[in-house]
Amino acid sequence: QQGQLVAPVVANLGPLEDLTLTPNPDEVEEVFTLPLDHLLKEENQGYTHFRAAGRYAYTLPVFLNGPHRVWGLTAIITELTLELLAPGCY
C-alpha cells in the first residue's frame, strides 16, 4: 500500500542451534521461531477484523498462543506459505 517491495524468502537452514543470526537492530526487534505443527493447529489460528471510517474494512490472519502474536504482513506471508507447504492441513 505504501509502495514498498517485500521479498519473502523460505529456506531450510538446517538445525536452528547451528545458526548465528545478526539482524539489523533498526529493523528487527527480535528473532523467534514457531514449529510448523503449532502454526497448523486450528486453536492457534485466528483473524483480526479492522474498521475504517466506522465500517468494516478488511480482515487479516493472526497466529496466537505462542510466546508471540504473529500478525500484520508477517501473518499474511505465513498464511500464504502454509497454504503452499501444507495445502491439505491448512
Q: State residue 55's pLDDT score.
A: 94
> Phi then psi for 39, rounded to 5 degrees?
-65, -30
- Written in H, E and C, the secondary structure of 26-87 is CCCCCCCCCCHHHHHCHHHEEEEEEEECCEEEEEEEEECCCCCCECHHHHHHHHHHHHHHCC
Domain borders along the chain are 39-89
Q: State residue 46's pLDDT score.
A: 96
- The pTM of the full predicted model, rounded to 2 decimals, is 0.79
User: pLDDT (tens digit, 9 = 90+) per residue, 53-84?
Assistant: 999 999 999 999 878 899 999 999 999 999 99
User: pLDDT (tens digit, 9 = 90+) per residue, 27-56?
Assistant: 888 888 888 999 999 999 999 999 999 999
pLDDT > 80? residue 2: no
At 1, the pLDDT band (50, 70, 90 cuts) reads low
